[in-house]
Structure 1
Amino acid sequence: MVLVNNLVRNGYQPVVFGWVAEQLAAWFPYVRVGRAAEHAGEFDTVIELRPTEQGPTLARSGKTLCLADLPAYHGPRHHMVDRIVDIASTVFELKDVTRSNGLTLPPGVVRRAAASRVVIHPTGSHPEKMWSRAKFLALARSLERLGLKPSFLVAPNEFDAWRDAVAQGHEVNALALGDVAKWIAESDWFIGNDSGLGHLASSIGVPTLTLFMRRGLARSWRPGWGPGEIVLPLNVVPSGKLKERLWKQLLTVRRVMSVFQTLRNSNSTVLSR
């Protein structure tokens, strides 16, 4: 969406495909969202992050431009947003370039409407990046002792696995992506694994705390728009593979709470000005 926003700023009228764009259409009102079956063979240029089955069906030539195949995608700038900005400037030769993805709050969505609510996203698309469930539940109890209101967010197909947490008194919500965005926007903070919802929260401007297994991943993938902190496990093992294997054990609830307090205090300073 950073590239899409920059194309729009420079006079292009891109069409965006995919379920994420469909469910967040209200948050990107300037973007035209399409359905692949209605646009077969229609485009001279089709841009993908990585190859998909759908992409070639949209192109007249049957070929697509994959960003991940471009040298600039693996260039010297570490953060992924900056790499996309470089591509917008150097590959597409756009003149008016920004890091913004253009997300805007729809009418009726009020930032921080639910004061003191802390959204916790305990899942993700890659199990190896997910902190332990028991520690997330312990984190929620620690937040409650501070007078805050932890609120778990999971995907609809994950809710059954979290029913026991509801029985224990925790708030767990399973929402469609558009409703997830509204829920996050109306909250004070967001805590989660390295995942897409952290980027969504950051785009909205909600302060984020993101749990990473390694610093290298955080350098490239930490939420990169609004205020935020990262938290890493204790650096007591020598190799990257060991860090990936042991990070869940080495990252404690106390360590996460300590970094959250730093985020909370810095955010309170900003809000009080």
Structure 2
Amino acid sequence: MNLQNSNRLAVALPPPIGDSLIGLVLVNNLIRNGYRPVVFGWVAEQLERWFPHVEVGYPAAYAGAFDTVIELRRTDFAPALSGTGETLCLSELDAYRAPNHMVDRITAVAASVLALPDVTRSNGIAVPAHVQRGRYANRVVIHPTGSHPEKMWSPNKFLALADRLREAGLQPSFLVAPGEYAAWRQIEARGHEIHALARLEDVAAWIAESAWFIGNDSGLGHLASAIGVPTLTLFMRRGLARTWRPTWGPGDIVLPPDVVPFGNLKEMLWKRLLGVNRVMTQFHSLQARS
């Protein structure tokens, strides 16, 4: 696809945090190859200071303003940005459907479909000057939730993990969304801190000033990885990890023991099979390497 004839170029990011951070890899590659896309999506809006090279737009001010609109997958607002009502949806391209990691799918589209000569896996995130990276050397962020309940490890096991981390001289710090706080506030009765930060930029700062991040397969793991915080991610299946594991910064994954032969059974039983000892062992390995 030739973008040379596009006077105005837009990129519409999908709502999930991880998908948006991966979509910003495309934005970063467009910029490094001389384009100036306007980027839309709530993640870009709330992390605007973390992507100072990105021009962030708001849909209401750009109706029909663009010759070319790129979206990772279909959104409600992207067609209204286009002068023709048409968009280029990456998820419908063959290059995007290859059985490899999502970031590699984006770079493949950038190189083969958009013909960009200078391509990187980075999304270009930059920690603002007011944020002190690694300020709390013993703090381990625990993100026990996610957008898909079936991917969320047992709350009791997360609590037991926090107890083990505290016994090891570390400071577990639970991080949840404001709407999840009521369901998790019992953590405080166990002597652990829990935070429900309203804005994603505050979440990013909290993670950046911590030493490690442990969480389910979710967008905040990608955010921690992009920032460079060592990240341990819990996955139900190896196939999901191959496609979605955070890969920008130092990190590792932990899977349940491979004792169940069928994928459906693995998804049903993984929370029971994945024990706290296994997670702690993998964390200590990551800790030693980082």
Same fold (TM over 0.5): yes
Structure 1 CA distance for aligned equivalents of residues 201 and 105 of structure 2: 27
Structure 1 CA distance for aligned equivalents of residues 58 and 189 of structure 2: 40
Q: 1:57, CA displacement in angstroms? A: 0.8
- How far does the alpha carbon of each residue in 1:236-256 deviate from its partner, in whole angstroms, 9 at most, with x for none? 111101000110001000000
Partner of 1:112: 134
Q: 1:45, CA displacement in angstroms? A: 1.1
Structure 2 CA distance for aligned equivalents of residues 165 and 205 of structure 1: 27
Structure 1 CA distance for aligned equivalents of residues 51 and 211 of structure 2: 22
Give the counterpart letter for 1:88 in structure 2: A
Partner of 2:116: 94
Structure 1 CA distance for aligned equivalents of residues 261 and 172 of structure 2: 35
Structure 1 CA distance for aligned equivalents of residues 183 and 205 of structure 2: 23
- How far does the alpha carbon of each residue in 1:113-152 deviate from its partner, in whole angstroms, 9 at most, with x for none? 0111000000000000000111001000000000000000
Give the counterpart letter for 2:111 in structure 1: S
Partner of 1:8: 31
RMSD: 0.8
SS at match of 1:167: helix
1:63 aligns with 2:86: yes
Q: 1:111, CA displacement in angstroms? A: 1.1
Partner of 1:172: 194
Task: Compute the TM-score of the two structures, normalised by the length of structure 1.
Answer: 0.96
- 5 Å matches for 1:127-206? 127-175=149-197, 176-206=199-229
1:35 aligns with 2:58: yes
Q: 1:167, CA displacement in angstroms? A: 2.5
Q: 1:164, CA displacement in angstroms? A: 1.3
Which blocks of at least 5 consecutive residues in structure 1 are unaligned? 268-273
Which of 258, 262, 265 is the aligned partner of 2:285?
262
Q: 1:52, CA displacement in angstroms? A: 1.1
SS at match of 1:118: strand
What is the percentage of aligned positions where both structures have the same residue?
A: 68
Which blocks of at least 5 consecutive residues in structure 2 are unaligned? 1-23
Partner of 1:253: 276
Give the counterpart letter for 1:261 in structure 2: H
1:80 aligns with 2:75: no
- How far does the alpha carbon of each residue in 1:90-110 deviate from its partner, in whole angstroms, 9 at most, with x for none? 010001111110000111111
Give the counterpart letter for 2:235 in structure 1: F
Structure 2 CA distance for aligned equivalents of residues 71 and 153 of structure 1: 37
SS at match of 2:131: coil
Partner of 2:47: 24
- 5 Å matches for 1:200-219? 200-219=223-242
Segments of 4+ moved more than 2 angstroms? none
Structure 1 CA distance for aligned equivalents of residues 272 and 73 of structure 2: 33
Task: Compute the TM-score of the two structures, normalised by the length of structure 2.
Answer: 0.91
